[in-house]
């Protein structure tokens, strides 16, 4: 069993920055990927960024050059540094972890990000 808890969301002005954190607890072992997804009102949940145990990353085209994903394996924590935020980034951001061998996926409860002046 794995639990994920996101933090760091809030209200920020366009062009501002936020840093999201997601701490995982429980049975964390083996090869896995942690990621951030987001869901805006009336839209489907979409991938933002993922990072593997070894540090390989993948980003949605809409956030490339603005967002940076990182992880601290010792703390089982993944981060999302969001710069140059746009109103279109407004959404609930969800953290997840996917285990490669078992295929199991766990999700956090989400943290709200609002970009508005």
pLDDT: is 9 or 1 the higher one?
A: 9
In three state form, how does the secondary structure of the chain look?
Answer: CEEEEEECCEEECCCCCEEEEEEEEECCCCCEEEEEEEECCCCCCEEEEEEECCCCEEECHHHCCCEEEEEECCCCEEEEEECCCCHHHCEEEEEEEEECCCCCEEECCCEEEEECC
Q: Dump pLDDT digits (tens) for 27-82.
A: 888 889 999 999 999 999 999 999 999 999 999 999 999 999 999 988 999 999 99
| Average pLDDT score over the chain | 96
């Amino acid at each position: 069993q794995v639990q994920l808890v996101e933090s760091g969301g809030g209200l920020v002005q366009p062009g501002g920055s936020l840093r999201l954190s997601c701490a995982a607890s429980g049975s964390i072992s083996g090869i896995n990927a942690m990621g951030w997804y987001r869901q805006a009102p009336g839209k489907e949940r979409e991938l933002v960024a993922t990072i593997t145990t070894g540090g390989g990353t993948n980003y949605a085209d809409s956030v490339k050059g603005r967002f940076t994903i990182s992880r601290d394996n010792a703390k089982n924590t993944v981060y999302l540094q969001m710069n140059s935020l746009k109103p279109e980034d407004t959404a609930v951001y969800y953290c997840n972890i996917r285990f490669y061998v078992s295929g199991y996926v766990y999700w956090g409860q989400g943290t709200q990000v609002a970009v508005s002046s």
